[in-house]
């Protein structure tokens, strides 16, 4: 069975000029996880933030730091993000070179490990490593930018993962990321997702709206 629905605002849509205040505000507004999108301009066509920024944000919230790496390679950076305060590190199998080794490297640091599936990535990649995963992240847009439209074609993949996770008997988060709004969240939850990443929908309207934004995402 899915765990209770958790909301993971992506700080990609926050005001980067005052990121510490933004993280504190979205925490107070009811965020469960703080989703941090790390992009390198190589694996994806955008550049965002690195471990120094994660470290600087760490004192601003005690919530789970859910670090989504869109970088290649991954392995040389695992320790840097773990040292910076990541609680979960997720990465894309295409970033290579060896998914199993990267999962071991993350788990050896005593933090949670996640694998991310792009819309075009087959779900079968998860099965050989399911027992090493704490989280599976299904992308409902192609990674790289906030504010894109939700792709409902990924929902069957969420359903397959829900069945496999339930059958495993392990506690594995099933997270979805991209185009999540009050309208699309219920579809993702119905398919089996239990962690909803939302950038634009969490941060729209400024800090006085954050609690309402998160509450409407949770309705799903």
Give residues in contact with ligand DX5 (CB under 6 A).
Answer: 10, 12-13, 35, 37, 68, 141, 143-144, 146-148, 177-180, 197-201
Q: Let me know if 40 is a catalytic residue.
A: no
| Among ligand DX5, Zn ion, none, partner that 144 touches (CB below 5 to 8 angstroms by kind) | ligand DX5
Residue 58 has which token pair?
Answer: 């760490």
Please list the residues that pair with 67 across neighbouring strands.
36, 89
CB 89 within 8 Å of CB 71: no
Compute CA 69 distance to the chain's CA centroid, rounded to the nearest angstrom. 9
Query: Which one of 32, 37, 40, 66 is the catalytic residue?
Result: 37
* Cα gap 103→56, rounded to integer Å: 25
Active-site residue (options: 32, 40, 173, 177)? 177
148 binds, among ligand DX5, Zn ion, none (CB under 5 to 8 A by kind): ligand DX5
Question: Which strands make up the sheet holding 64-70, listed edge to edge?
Answer: 6-9, 195-198, 173-177, 135-139, 112-117, 88-91, 64-70, 33-39
Instruction: Tell me how far, at minimum, the Cβ of 125 lies from ligand DX5, in Å.
Output: 18
Task: Report which residue's Cβ sits closest to ligand DX5.
Answer: 199
CB of 212 to Zn ion, least distance (A): 22
Q: Please say which residue, 108 or 143, places its beta carbon nearer to ligand DX5.
A: 143
Which 8-state DSSP code applies to residue 31? Answer: -
Binding residues (CB under 5 A) for Zn ion: these are 37, 68, 177
Instruction: Give catalytic status of residue 66 as yes or no.
Output: no
From the list Zn ion, ligand DX5, none, partner contacted by residue 147 (C-beta under 5 to 8 A by kind)? ligand DX5
Structure token digits, residue 97: 């070179």
Taking the complex as a whole, how short is the minimal distance between the CB of residue 181 and ligand DX5, in angstroms?
A: 8
Least gap, CB of 139 to Zn ion (angstroms) = 8
Indicate the residue among 128 and 147 with the shorter CB distance to ligand DX5: 147
Contact partner at residue 12 from ligand DX5, Zn ion, none, CB < 5 to 8 Å by partner kind: ligand DX5
Rounded Cα distance, 161 and 188, in Å: 12
84-119 burial, b for 16+ CB within 10 Å, e for fewer?
Answer: bbbebbbbbbebeeebeebbebbbeeebbbbbbbbe
Catalytically active residues are 37, 177
């Amino acid at each position: 069975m899915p765990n209770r629905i958790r909301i993971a605002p992506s700080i990609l849509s926050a005001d980067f000029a005052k990121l510490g205040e933004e993280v504190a505000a979205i925490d107070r507004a009811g965020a469960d996880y703080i989703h941090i999108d790390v992009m390198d301009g190589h694996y994806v066509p955008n550049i965002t933030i690195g471990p120094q920024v994660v470290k600087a944000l760490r004192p601003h919230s005690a919530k789970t730091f859910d670090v989504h790496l869109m970088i290649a390679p991954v392995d040389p950076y695992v320790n840097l993000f773990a040292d910076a305060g990541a609680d979960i590190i997720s990465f894309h199998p295409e970033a290579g070179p060896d998914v199993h080794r990267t999962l071991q490297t993350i788990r050896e640091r005593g933090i949670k490990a996640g694998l991310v599936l792009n819309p075009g990535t087959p779900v079968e990649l998860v099965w050989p490593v399911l027992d090493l995963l704490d989280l599976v992240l299904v992308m409902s847009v192609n990674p790289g930018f906030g504010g894109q439209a939700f792709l409902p074609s990924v929902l069957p993949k969420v359903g397959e993962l829900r069945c496999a996770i339930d059958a495993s008997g392990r506690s594995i988060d099933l997270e979805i990321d991209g185009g999540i709004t009050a309208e699309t969240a219920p579809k993702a939850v119905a398919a089996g997702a239990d962690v909803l990443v939302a950038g634009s929908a969490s941060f729209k309207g400024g800090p006085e709206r954050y609690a309402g934004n998160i509450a409407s995402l949770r309705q799903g």
